[in-house]
Each structure stands twice: as structure tokens, then as C-alpha cells.
């Protein structure tokens, strides 16, 4: 196929967004394009995802925004148009690309930039800025040199004569557009609001939080937005669950009764594509009566009893990383009861917060002492000072946790973005294998 348009995407650890962005590009009605990624040594799963999606990648060690674009243009020649798209900008519609390049057919138009919409994960400051800067009306700019490469198209013939700055550390788009409109050649830049993308980040302006939230409240009262790109809707996400269980000698009948009911609920949940069962033979035999294509059985061995949660989850990741999974939910069947709609709570929280891990935790205000080298030390200042207690969150991962799958590449989970769903009742801490409330 003869490619008319080169789409350049610059990446650095974009494994949360890159699959959705690429797949949305692939769904475009306009097909005469070539995608080329310029990657700045990503060490997450970005490169694995791009390889699986069969996307060409070139590497840049010292990243400068204009230099990366110029590198891509010189690496793939002979297209008529060049499109720049941020890896975390997801096209809103299947006509995005067609609408973004259409104004370039006008001889006077040298560049086009599209609208950027906030999405569910956009912070309040960026939400405000995106709504204020990117309006509903199309604009033709002959003097105003505002231009944004997160979602833009440019004539290659112009870039050949006037490439981006190889030295600018940021705002390469604004530097370039000012140069172009200062040439006095009757050039124009078009803002096309119909060529819109959802943008996770924003323009990074600053202001006081109180003022910011006030402006945001006014904007949201005027416009009711759908902030979720369709490709990131939960029904379009690939979600697996992994269940760890060993039938207890204590309350054996109750254990089987409670967990068979729970697993049936999981099997009926339409968001879950597969359920990985790591259970003992007693429970596995009971589950044979539930015939489901969702079930995947893994042999449970004695080693699993000594593994930490992160080791169990990482082992599942290694086994299934080729499955293109988006989220992994983890349950330990040792818990006597779970919060109502616990699965829905986990799914809702991880999507809205763009967290790497969401888990349930009991919030406790308590007076705790620790012992180090034989010396007791207070972690609170109840014995003196203004605040008598500290708030602690007692995380119960096996009660229910959801993990952004790509983040599991690294077994160490301490540096992940974690959100807690707070429990109101200590009854959810009760375990079948123990007679008291304990992890």
C-alpha cells in the first residue's frame, strides 16, 4: 500500500495507554497511514506491546521532542502528511485521522491541530486547562501561533524546508509555528475541533487548588462529558482473575459452601474473561459441576504456601504475559466474607484512579509501638504532643485486589501507585484457617 500519512508517536514507558492508542488508530476509516514509534528506552512493557501489535520502532537515547520527530520523518520518507500523536492521546472517533488531515488539502494550510478532551483520569488542573484552551469552534490562525503536537498534522513539504528544532527541550511545536507564521507567505494553521482525542495529561498550567476546583466546578456544571474513551470502557478490557485456595480442616463444609457460591458469582461476571484456579483437589472436584470455558486450572503445589502475594501474582504474570491482559484480579479463598459488589468496586476504582494496585484495607486509628534493638518506640504521640493517634491501613490483598497487568513486570510492588478501598467492618478480616481476626 502507498502510505499518504506518517503517524509519529513518541514513547517513554507508556504501557498503560499505548495499546488503546494504537488499536484506536487501527480502527480508523482512513487507512493510508504508517505508524512509527520513537521510543526513549522504555523499561516497562511498551516495547513488548508494540512488537505484538507489529508496530515499527526506532530508538532515541537523548530525547528532545523536535529531534525525535525529525528522526522519524527522516527514517520514513515519501509520505504527503505527517501526524504527531502523544502515546497517551486516544482518538475519540474512527474519523479522527480523516478529519485531522482534511484541512491540509487547502494550499494555504500548513498544519492542523485537533481538540484534546479530558478523560476520567485527568487531574482537575489539566481538566480545566484542556476545556478552556480547546473549544468547540474551528479556527483559522494566521497570526496566533498556538499549536500543539499532542494531536497534530503537518505537510511534509513544509517540514522538509522548516524542520523542528533539534535543541528545544520543550514547546518545539510553538517555536515551529511562530517561525512558520512569521514567514509572510500567507500560511495558516487550522484548529479542527472535530479531530478530537482523549488526553490523560494536560497543559500543566499552575494555580491555587481552591481557585482551580472552583473553575472546574463551573465548567462541569455547564458541560456533561463522557470522560471514558470507548476503547477503555471496562467491557472492552481483558480482565482475568486468579483464585488461590486450599480447603481448610476447620469449618470445611462452610468453606466449600461459601467459596463455591463466590466462584459461581465470578463465573457469571461478564467483565471477567478468564478465571485462573490455583486450588486443591477437593475444591477442584466440586468445581467440575460448574462447566465453564472461563476456567483455567493450574496445579497447586506445596511451594505456593510459602509464597508472598507479589510472588504469586508475578508468577501468574510470567505465565500469561503473552495473553494481552489489561487487569488481573486476585482473591484468596480463606476469607469468610467479602464486601458487597467487591468486584465492581475494584474495577471501578482501578479505572478511575489509573492505579497500579487497588486493594481492600481496614482503616484504623490506633496507638502503635514498635521494637527495634530491644527498645520500644512510639509510632504515635499519645504520650505527649497534639495528635494522639495515627491512621493506619491494614491491607487485605486476598480479600480482593486488582493489578494493572503491565505493572507486574517488576515483582517489587513498593513503587507502584496504590489505592485503598476502606472497609467499615472488621468482620471482613475473619479467615477460615484462623480463629481470630488476623492476616
Is the pLDDT at 436 greater than 50? The verdict is: no
Is the pLDDT at 206 greater than 70? The verdict is: no
The Cα 346–Cα 329 span in angstroms is 8
Residue-level pLDDT at 223: 61
Is the pLDDT at 212 greater than 70? The verdict is: no
Is the pLDDT at 389 greater than 70? The verdict is: no
Q: Would you place residue 17 in the very low, low, confident or very high pLDDT band (cuts 50, 70, 90)?
A: very high
Is the pLDDT at 387 greater than 80? The verdict is: no
The Cα 16–Cα 218 span in angstroms is 30
* More confidently predicted of 116 and 393: 116
Residue-level pLDDT at 299: 81
Provide mean pLDDT across the span 338-353: 85
The Cα 246–Cα 234 span in angstroms is 30
Q: Would you place residue 9 in the very low, low, confident or very high pLDDT band (cuts 50, 70, 90)?
A: very high
- Which domains occur in the chain, in start order? 5-232 (3.90.550.10), 239-429 (3.90.550.10)
Q: Would you place residue 100 in the very low, low, confident or very high pLDDT band (cuts 50, 70, 90)?
A: very high
Residue 367 grid cell: 496507638
Is the pLDDT at 371 greater than 90? The verdict is: no
Helical spans, DSSP H, in 189-280: 209-222, 252-268
Residue-level pLDDT at 157: 94
Is the pLDDT at 205 greater than 60? The verdict is: no
For the beta carbon of residue 295, count every other beta carbon within 10 angstroms: 18
Highest mean pLDDT among 66-70, 289-293, 406-410: 66-70
The Cα 189–Cα 278 span in angstroms is 58
Is the pLDDT at 438 greater than 50? The verdict is: no
Closest CA to 92 of 109, 114, 111: 114
Contact call for residues 210 and 128 (beta carbons, < 8 A): no
Q: Would you place residue 416 in the very low, low, confident or very high pLDDT band (cuts 50, 70, 90)?
A: confident
The model's pTM: 0.81
Is the pLDDT at 405 greater than 50? The verdict is: yes
Report in angstroms the alpha-carbon separations of 212 from 207, 226, 278. Answer: 6, 21, 48
Provide mean pLDDT across the span 170-184: 92
Question: How does pLDDT run across 25-54, given as a tens digit for each residue?
Answer: 999 999 999 999 999 999 999 999 999 999
The Cα 151–Cα 9 span in angstroms is 10
The Cα 190–Cα 219 span in angstroms is 25
Residue-level pLDDT at 28: 97
Contact call for residues 339 and 423 (beta carbons, < 8 A): yes
* More confidently predicted of 324 and 301: 324
Provide mean pLDDT across the span 85-94: 96
The residue whose grid cell reads 498503560 is 16
Q: Would you place residue 67 in the very low, low, confident or very high pLDDT band (cuts 50, 70, 90)?
A: very high
Contact call for residues 401 and 307 (beta carbons, < 8 A): no
Is the pLDDT at 338 greater than 70? The verdict is: yes
* More confidently predicted of 310 and 73: 73
Is the pLDDT at 219 greater than 80? The verdict is: no
Is the pLDDT at 144 greater than 50? The verdict is: yes
* CA-based radius of gyration for the chain: 26
Residues of the chain with pLDDT > 90: what percent? 57
The residue whose grid cell reads 484504623 is 364
Residue 45 grid cell: 512493557
Question: How does pLDDT run across 245-299, given as a tens digit for each residue?
Answer: 888 888 888 999 999 999 999 999 999 999 999 988 888 888 888 888 999 988 8
Closest CA to 316 of 303, 328, 332, 331: 328
Is the pLDDT at 428 greater than 60? The verdict is: yes
Angle at 154 between CA 153 and CA 160, to 5 degrees: 150
Residue-level pLDDT at 224: 66
Residue-level pLDDT at 268: 92
Is the pLDDT at 174 greater than 70? The verdict is: yes
* More confidently predicted of 83 and 252: 83
Amino acid at each position: 500500500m502507498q502510505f499518504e500519512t506518517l503517524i509519529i508517536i513518541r514513547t517513554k514507558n507508556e504501557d498503560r495507554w499505548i495499546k488503546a492508542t494504537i488499536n484506536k488508530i487501527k480502527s480508523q476509516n482512513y487507512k493510508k497511514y504508517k505508524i512509527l514509534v520513537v521510543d526513549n528506552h522504555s523499561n516497562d512493557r511498551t516495547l513488548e506491546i508494540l512488537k505484538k501489535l507489529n508496530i515499527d520502532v526506532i530508538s532515541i537515547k537523548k530525547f528532545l521532542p523536535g529531534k525525535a520527530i525529525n528522526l522519524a520523518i527522516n527514517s520514513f520518507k515519501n509520505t504527503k502528511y505527517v501526524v504527531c500523536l502523544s502515546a497517551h492521546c486516544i482518538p475519540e472517533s474512527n474519523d479522527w485521522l480523516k478529519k485531522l488531515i482534511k484541512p491540509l488539502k487547502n494550499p494555504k494550510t500548513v498544519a492542523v491541530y485537533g481538540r484534546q478532551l479530558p478523560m476520567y483520569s485527568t487531574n482537575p488542573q489539566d481538566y480545566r486547562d484542556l476545556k478552556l484552551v480547546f473549544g468547540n469552534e474551528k479556527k483559522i490562525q494566521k497570526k496566533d501561533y498556538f499549536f500543539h503536537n499532542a494531536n497534530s498534522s503537518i505537510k511534509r513539504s513544509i517540514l522538509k524546508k522548516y524542520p523542528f528544532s533539534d535543541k528545544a527541550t520543550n514547546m518545539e511545536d510553538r517555536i515551529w509555528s511562530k517561525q512558520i507564521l512569521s514567514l509572510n507567505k500567507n500560511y495558516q494553521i487550522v484548529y479542527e475541533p472535530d479531530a478530537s482525542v482523549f488526553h490523560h495529561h494536560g497543559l500543566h498550567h499552575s494555580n491555587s487548588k481552591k481557585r482551580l476546583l472552583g473553575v472546574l466546578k463551573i465548567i462541569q456544571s455547564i458541560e456533561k462529558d463522557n470522560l471514558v474513551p470507548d476503547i477503555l470502557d471496562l467491557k472492552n478490557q481483558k480482565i482475568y482473575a486468579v483464585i488461590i485456595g486450599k480447603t481448610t480442616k476447620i469449618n470445611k463444609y462452610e468453606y466449600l459452601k461459601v467459596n463455591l457460591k463466590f466462584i459461581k458469582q465470578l463465573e457469571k461476571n461478564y467483565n471477567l474473561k478468564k478465571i485462573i484456579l490455583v486450588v486443591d483437589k477437593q475444591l477442584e472436584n466440586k468445581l467440575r459441576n460448574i462447566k465453564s470455558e472461563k476456567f483455567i486450572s493450574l496445579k497447586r503445589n506445596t511451594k505456593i504456601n510459602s509464597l508472598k502475594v507479589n510472588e504469586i501474582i508475578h508468577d501468574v504474570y510470567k505465565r500469561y504475559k503473552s495473553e494481552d491482559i489489561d487487569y488481573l484480579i486476585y482473591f484468596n479463598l480463606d476469607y469468610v466474607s467479602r464486601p458487597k459488589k467487591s468486584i465492581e468496586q475494584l474495577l471501578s476504582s482501578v479505572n478511575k484512579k489509573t492505579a497500579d494496585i487497588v486493594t481492600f484495607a481496614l482503616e484504623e486509628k490506633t496507638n502503635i509501638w514498635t521494637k527495634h534493638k530491644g527498645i520500644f518506640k512510639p509510632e504515635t504521640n499519645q504520650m505527649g504532643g497534639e495528635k494522639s493517634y495515627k491512621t493506619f491501613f491494614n491491607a487485605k490483598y486476598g480479600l480482593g485486589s486488582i493489578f494493572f497487568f503491565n505493572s507486574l513486570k517488576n515483582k517489587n510492588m513498593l513503587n507502584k501507585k496504590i489505592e485503598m478501598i476502606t472497609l467499615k467492618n472488621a468482620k471482613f478480616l475473619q479467615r477460615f484457617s484462623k480463629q481470630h481476626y488476623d492476616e
